[in-house]
């Protein structure tokens, strides 16, 4: 039977980043197992699909410390310097400027493929990549966990990390229970080009159907680099979202334009559309005997505030930090320390995201009035804006300083 110090199930954005972090900052051997053909072409696997995501300022800094250069990719990252949050058809609106928060940007917008191209570890003696097989079961003993793969092989590890996106049956079998709350919404994502430049503005607009986010993105459609590209995340009820997928391009552009408004002119081009049903999923705990669950495996969030990978990366950085200089990476004291370190940040980020979905997907008048007053208040009250910016950029009070 093969042995490894740490076995990671799942080579999506979180699992790959964790493998890279562990190899850089600890002396442990690492095995990464994924169901897809990562060695052949990991950028066409579901974890690295057409998604474009916003990386919080904290995430950009942490990735940069790991040597990830987001400007050095085929699709360079685009900084978010200004954010406008508005409620379509109402007065509530708030404007945030990075410079007013002593930042050069709130974060960067990047294609998840560009990120993936840099975070899959290169071949090296302490690293084994086992792909095109799934982990089908795991058995915990006092000093190890033995996992069984779909090809019949077994691997013995001191620490098992589930970065499986919540999609493997292993976490349930190991005693993690997972709850799911369906938001009744599907996110339609696409890239568009507008007639006027984005000037590094991101927009979060609340419409009668659900939230709509426009992220400035350099190479929006057809490798266009005109500075007028956006990545769109349009949240709609499931049945309306299904309809948008069958609309022809001009009908889709017309409907999207109505939802966006004309602040940046008219839509010139629309790219491919992809749909993601949305729910809040979370495990009851992130640690069991010699096992940790991280990233979407531990919590999958609504994309309304763009926090899913950002929170997953903080799982990664805290786990790497907890495992530094530890001879037994699966020891109870080590994992318990990790669990305690993560609790407040996870709770605060999940609460913020879920709260925004509830408040901004609701048509009850008291809530509509309340959220518009909230947006106006944030525009005028420096303290409120500061609090929101700190949490969403990854520097919230519940977020521990990252230690690499
Ligand atoms: C529309 C949309 C927009 C988003 N926007 C943002 C944003 O702006 N900012 C942000 O921070 N986040 C955003 N997110 C969230 C972000 O994309 C995810 O949080 C992140 O990609 C999750 O990565 P992961 O590695 O945890 O999981 P996954 O990408 O799901 O990877 C899990 C991997 O585990 C493998 N696997 C599962 N089970 C097994 C098994 N038994 N054996 C072997 N392999 C297995 C799978 O093959 C897969 O490769 C967005 C998400 C969506 C849907």
pLDDT in tens, 36-54: 998 887 777 888 888 999 9
Please state the rounded mean pLDDT for residues 274-292. 96
pLDDT reading at 186 higher than 60 = yes
Third-level CATH fold of 2-180+279-392: FAD/NAD(P)-binding domain (3.50.50)
pLDDT reading at 179 higher than 60 = yes
Q: What 8-state DSSP symbol labels residue 382?
A: H
Across-strand partners of 189?
233, 274
C-alpha 291/C-alpha 332 separation (Å) is 10
pLDDT reading at 344 higher than 70 = yes
Instruction: Give residue-wise pLDDT tens across range 207-220.
Output: 877 888 999 998 65
Residue 182, judged by CB atoms within 10 A of its CB (0-12, 13-18, 19+), counts as exposed
Q: What is the pLDDT of residue 381?
A: 61
Closest CA to 68 of 117, 19, 109, 131: 117
Residue nearest to atom 51 of ligand 1 (CA): 303
pLDDT band at 161 (very low <50, low <70, confident <90, very high): very high
- Least trusted range by pLDDT, from 23-32, 59-68, 89-98, 371-380: 371-380
297 Cα: distance to centroid of ligand 1 (angstroms): 8
222: phi then psi, degrees, rounded to nearest 5? 55, 40
User: What pTM does this model have?
Assistant: 0.92
Instruction: Give residue-wise pLDDT tens across range 355-381.
Output: 877 766 655 555 555 555 555 555 556
C-alpha 305/C-alpha 346 separation (Å) is 14
Please state the rounded mean pLDDT for residues 275-287. 95
Would the CB of 166 count as within 6 Å of ligand 1? no
- List the alpha helices (DSSP H) in 264-399: 308-323, 332-360, 365-380, 382-392
Percent of the chain with pLDDT over 90: 62
C-alpha 22/C-alpha 29 separation (Å) is 9
Would the CB of 107 count as within 6 Å of ligand 1? no
């Amino acid at each position: 039977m093969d042995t490894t110090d740490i076995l990671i199930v799942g080579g999506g954005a979180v699992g790959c980043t964790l493998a890279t972090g562990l190899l850089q900052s600890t002396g442990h051997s690492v095995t990464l197992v994924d169901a897809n053909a990562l060695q052949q072409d990991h950028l066409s696997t579901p974890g690295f699909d057409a998604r474009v995501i916003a990386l919080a300022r904290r995430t950009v800094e942490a990735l940069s410390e790991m040597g990830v250069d987001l400007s050095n990719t085929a699709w360079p990252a685009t900084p978010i310097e200004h954010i406008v949050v508005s409620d379509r058809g109402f007065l509530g609106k708030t404007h945030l400027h990075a410079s007013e928060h002593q930042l050069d940007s709130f974060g960067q917008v990047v294609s998840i493929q560009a990120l993936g191209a840099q975070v899959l570890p290169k071949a090296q003696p302490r690293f084994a990549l086992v792909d095109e097989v799934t982990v089908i079961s795991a058995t915990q003993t006092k000093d190890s966990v033995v996992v069984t793969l779909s090809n019949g092989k077994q691997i013995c590890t001191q620490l098992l990390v589930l970065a499986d996106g919540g999609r493997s049956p292993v976490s349930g079998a190991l005693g993690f229970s997972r709850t799911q709350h369906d938001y009744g919404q599907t996110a339609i994502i696409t890239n568009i080009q507008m007639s006027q430049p984005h000037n590094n503005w991101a927009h979060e607009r609340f419409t009668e159907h659900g939230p709509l986010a426009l992220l400035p993105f350099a190479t929006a459609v057809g490798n266009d680099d005109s500075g007028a590209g956006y990545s769109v995340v349009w949240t709609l009820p499931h049945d309306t979202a299904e309809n948008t997928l069958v609309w022809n391009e001009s009908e889709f552009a017309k409907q999207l334009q109505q939802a966006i408004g004309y602040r940046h002119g008219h839509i010139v081009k629309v790219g491919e559309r992809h749909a993601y049903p949305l729910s809040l999923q979370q495990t009851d705990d992130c640690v069991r005997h010699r096992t940790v669950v991280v990233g979407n495996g531990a919590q999958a969030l609504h994309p309304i505030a763009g926090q899913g990978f950002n929170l997953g990366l903080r799982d990664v950085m805290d786990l790497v930090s907890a495992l530094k200089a530890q001879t037994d990476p699966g020891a109870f004291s080590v994992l318990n320390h990790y669990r305690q370190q993560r609790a407040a940040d996870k709770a605060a980020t999940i609460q913020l995201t879920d709260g925004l979905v509830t408040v901004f997907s609701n048509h009850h008048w008291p809530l509509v009035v309340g959220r518009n007053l909230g947006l106006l208040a944030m525009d005028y009250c420096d303290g409120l804006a500061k609090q929101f910016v700190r949490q969403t950029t990854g520097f919230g009070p519940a977020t521990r300083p990252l230690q690499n």
